[in-house]
Structure 1
Amino acid sequence: MPYAEGRIFNDADSHIMETRDWLISHADADIREKLRPLAIGSGGRMVDKAIAHANDRVSDPAAVADAEKNLMLRKGWEALGAFDPNERRRALDLLGFSSQLVFTTFAITHFWGEFDQVRSTPEVLYGGARAHNRAIADFCRGDKRLLAVGFVPLDIPELAEKEIDEAVRLGCAAIHIPSLPPAKKSPTHPDFNGVWARLQDADVPFLLHVGGGGRAIPRAFHNNDRPVTDFLGGGENIRSKDFMAIHMMPEIFLSTMVLDGIFEQFPRLRGGCIEQGAMWIVPWLRRLDISQATFVKSEKYLSLPLKASDYVRRNLRFTPYPHEPVGWIVEQAGPELCMFSSDYPHIEGGRNPLKRFELSTPNLSEVARERFYATNYADMMGSRAA
């Protein structure tokens, strides 16, 4: 009996747990030596042991049966299908999801981010992105339920356009774009019109995801002389104060997209905000409309045919955390915005995310529940839905 049954469940957030050479093995030969080592933080203390243990079960039916029995308890590299595509297909059978977006976990640290405070060269940045997209497309190939999420930074518009085209050709069903703005230009600058046009024309949504917005808060706020661990057992993963600010960069990114008229200019462009919560969208919708009405006299481009919040409802979707009051969010913000996600096999997703979502949505109508579990995801994915 699968974990989820009785209706269609589309999972808007899942991951693979990369091995150390997973992305590098897909990189062009002239890029491989220039990529940074995989940055896995505290997970490094357990990754090699977990990978070895997971590899051993390939030839051990009893170990496979144990992994299947503990499907929602084993997390990270120990999870069924964490990095083996054949196991992942079996895991999806047991999960019971009709479709599942698949992101990487640490792979972009090879070539993107604030990890050494130095931006990668264009060659490494886009060569790394190309290797990432090859690798994730390969992982998902062979099962139409697994939808690969590519990654394309916007730093150089013409190179971003090229890698979007290549990612789509490889079979990526969505593109993760950093919410950290590229260099000194807004993502709404006309230089990026080719990016949004390509995504619209390919019927491929852009996705913002936790980790793509840079550091949530300055390091100093964590220097409080108090002991702390995180989900991985160290101190560099998401913590309480990070959680308080995790939505801020995507909120600014999406506000800019709405207020600068990108969704008016590209009406079929769709996007999703993944693993960054959804409680914040309730007041955000009101603030968007207030901002539009207040500043339209001095910023003439705010005179759009629709209210700002209407573009959000038409073009964007969001994944609440399972510990958020999802029923309240849907009641306040409307049924067309939120999507189910499992975060499999990350520990942050919890041992029973479906139960937690069910407990927080007892008063929702069947139509609203269907939208949450299936339809809003299908709307976001368009023709790319499984």
Structure 2
Amino acid sequence: MIPSHLLEDVLGQPGRIMGKVFESADRLRPDPTATNMHQTDIVGDMKDIDPEDIWKIKGPSAPSAIDLGRRVEVLDVMGIDRQLVFPTTAIAAMIVGGMNDIAYEMRFGGDMSVFEGASRPDFAKSFLRAYNEWVMDNAVLADGRIRMVGIVPTRPDVNEMVDTAKRLINAGVRAVYLQADVPPGGVSPAHSLLDPLWRLFEENDVTVTLHIGTEFAFLDPGWMIAETFQDLFQSPEIPNTNIQLFSTVHMAVDNYVSAMVLGGVFERFPRLRLGLMEVGAHWVGCAARRMDMYIKVFPGAAAAKFPLKPSEYIARNIRVSPFNFEPVDSYFQDDPALADVFCYSTDYPHVEGTKDSLQNMLKKVEPLGEEITTKFFRTNAEWLLP
């Protein structure tokens, strides 16, 4: 979570441009909170790692937000064995490159000069190349406890996606981020054209993730334009967002997962690991019941002839991290067959992770017993961090 003015030091020109984009967003609607990515007074990773403060502090000034060399100590203080590290700025770059002009103006302002002559999509491509190079240099830190998530952008030619994945895997990357809002290669993720990609991930025990930030091509931003949607929320990945976006942020991922499950991806690749991050978990039980219902409605469909029900593929192959304000206890109670699905995430040091999330979530699941508590805080997530 490197602040805007320090990005160039790590990622060169693409980092400099991304810094200008964050600065532009802050000019549009100044963010006085600690989560603001444009804080020029931050000179480095300087804050002490305080056991009392670590669960409360957020933003680029938090310990190890800039210097991942300090992250192991943070994990030790938090009591965390290993974690996936997602890229705040690369996700933001994907958003900037993928959204239309209206959405860009709403979130980041309309100043196109920040891109130094490049188009927004071309900037995003250059940033992702620079980010993936950095990831490959830092793929697995601290003997695998810290795992950087590489990005495999959607391309019209699936072979390009496979080539990107191979480069990341050959460099030691253990988890990748895919876009959920655009059909990969112009087809469903269940199409046989994608099988080489899924096979590559399965054979190398590489975790596939879908994450907040790539929903802008799925829903027209016009759905978020209304006088009553002017109360804005500041997120590092998505500045100047609103309640309508967050209430629908799962829809692109729900659609992608439905295609994978009903299209037989997990039947063909039974050891494929999929994690759904920062898109909520409130919808997962409903999605499982919906898919189970439709294989009864359409008994001639291929999915109706698979040996497992859709909900069983979800339970076996997919893990979901709820937002830490969600009533996850009710999810375990309402859908006991999905008890292996839900897993805790700190989202450190992002504001969406909420303060004191460990204790707050423990209060919700501990009354359900030791088995559920252990599943939620440890064993379920082990599927994503082999």
Alignment TM class, shorter chain as reference: 0.7 to 0.9
Alignment counterpart, residue 58 of structure 2, candidates 45, 58, 75: 75
Q: Which amino acid aligns with 2:82?
A: S
**Distance in 1 of aligned mates of 2:240 and 2:272:** 32
**Distance in 2 of aligned mates of 1:107 and 1:20:** 15
User: Counterpart of 2:367 in 1: which secondary structure?
Assistant: coil
Alignment map for 1:22-37 (pairs within 5 Å): 22=7, 25-26=10-11, 37=18
User: Counterpart of 2:332 in 1: which secondary structure?
Assistant: helix
Contact 1:17 1:104 in 2 (8 A): no
Cα distance change on mapping 1:283 and 1:314 into 2, 3 Å: same
Contact 1:98 1:145 in 2 (8 A): yes
Which runs of at least 4 in structure 1 moved beyond 6 Å after TM superposition?
none
**Distance in 1 of aligned mates of 2:14 and 2:2:** 22
Cα distance change on mapping 1:361 and 1:234 into 2, 3 Å: closer
Deviation at 1:26, TM superposition (A): 4.8
**Which residue is 2:289 aligned to?**
286
Contact 2:180 2:253 in 1 (8 A): yes
Deviations 1:257-294 (A, max 9, x none): 00010111111111011111111112111101111221
**Distance in 2 of aligned mates of 1:376 and 1:190:** 29
Alignment counterpart, residue 355 of structure 2, candidates 344, 351, 358: 351
Deviations 1:202-228 (A, max 9, x none): 111110001122267543343332441
**Distance in 2 of aligned mates of 1:235 and 1:101:** 20
Cα distance change on mapping 1:312 and 1:35 into 2, 3 Å: farther
Does 2:81 align with 1:98?
A: yes
Alignment map for 1:215-226 (pairs within 5 Å): 217-226=219-228
Cα distance change on mapping 1:165 and 1:184 into 2, 3 Å: closer
Contact 1:22 1:135 in 2 (8 A): no
**Distance in 2 of aligned mates of 1:340 and 1:244:** 20
Q: Which amino acid aligns with 2:311?
A: S
Does 2:270 align with 1:242?
A: no
**Distance in 1 of aligned mates of 2:17 and 2:149:** 21
User: Counterpart of 1:77 in 2: which secondary structure?
Assistant: coil
Contact 2:92 2:213 in 1 (8 A): no
**Which residue is 1:114 aligned to?**
98
**Distance in 2 of aligned mates of 1:233 and 1:125:** 17
Contact 2:11 2:130 in 1 (8 A): yes
**Distance in 1 of aligned mates of 2:378 and 2:135:** 23
Cα distance change on mapping 1:49 and 1:229 into 2, 3 Å: closer
Cα distance change on mapping 1:54 and 1:358 into 2, 3 Å: farther
**Which residue is 1:375 aligned to?**
379
Scaled by the length of structure 2, what TM-score is found? 0.81
Scaled by the length of structure 1, what TM-score is found? 0.81
Does 2:39 align with 1:50?
A: yes
Cα distance change on mapping 1:49 and 1:263 into 2, 3 Å: closer
**Which residue is 1:169 aligned to?**
170
Deviation at 1:100, TM superposition (A): 1.3
- Count of aligned pairs between the two proteins: 354
**Distance in 2 of aligned mates of 1:288 and 1:234:** 31
Does 2:153 align with 1:153?
A: yes
Alignment map for 1:236-275 (pairs within 5 Å): 236-275=239-278
Does 2:338 align with 1:339?
A: no
**Which residue is 1:13 aligned to?**
none
Alignment map for 1:303-342 (pairs within 5 Å): 303-334=305-336, 335-342=339-346
User: Counterpart of 1:76 in 2: which secondary structure?
Assistant: coil
**Which residue is 1:6 aligned to?**
none
**Which residue is 1:131 aligned to?**
130
Deviates further, 356-365 or 233-242? 233-242
Cα distance change on mapping 1:333 and 1:115 into 2, 3 Å: same
Does 2:203 align with 1:204?
A: no
Cα distance change on mapping 1:96 and 1:185 into 2, 3 Å: same
Cα distance change on mapping 1:157 and 1:247 into 2, 3 Å: same
Cα distance change on mapping 1:110 and 1:221 into 2, 3 Å: closer
Q: Which amino acid aligns with 1:208?
A: L
Q: Which amino acid aligns with 1:336?
A: D
**Which residue is 2:104 aligned to?**
none
Q: Which amino acid aligns with 1:214?
A: F
Cα distance change on mapping 1:202 and 1:233 into 2, 3 Å: closer
Cα distance change on mapping 1:68 and 1:325 into 2, 3 Å: closer
Contact 1:200 1:270 in 2 (8 A): yes
Deviates further, 143-152 or 80-89? 80-89
Deviation at 1:320, TM superposition (A): 1.0
| Unpaired segments ≥5 residues, structure 2 | 102-118
Deviates further, 227-236 or 360-369? 227-236
Deviation at 1:366, TM superposition (A): 0.8
Deviation at 1:342, TM superposition (A): 0.7
**Which residue is 2:112 aligned to?**
none
Contact 1:54 1:78 in 2 (8 A): no
Identity of paired residues, percent?
25
**Distance in 2 of aligned mates of 1:73 and 1:295:** 49
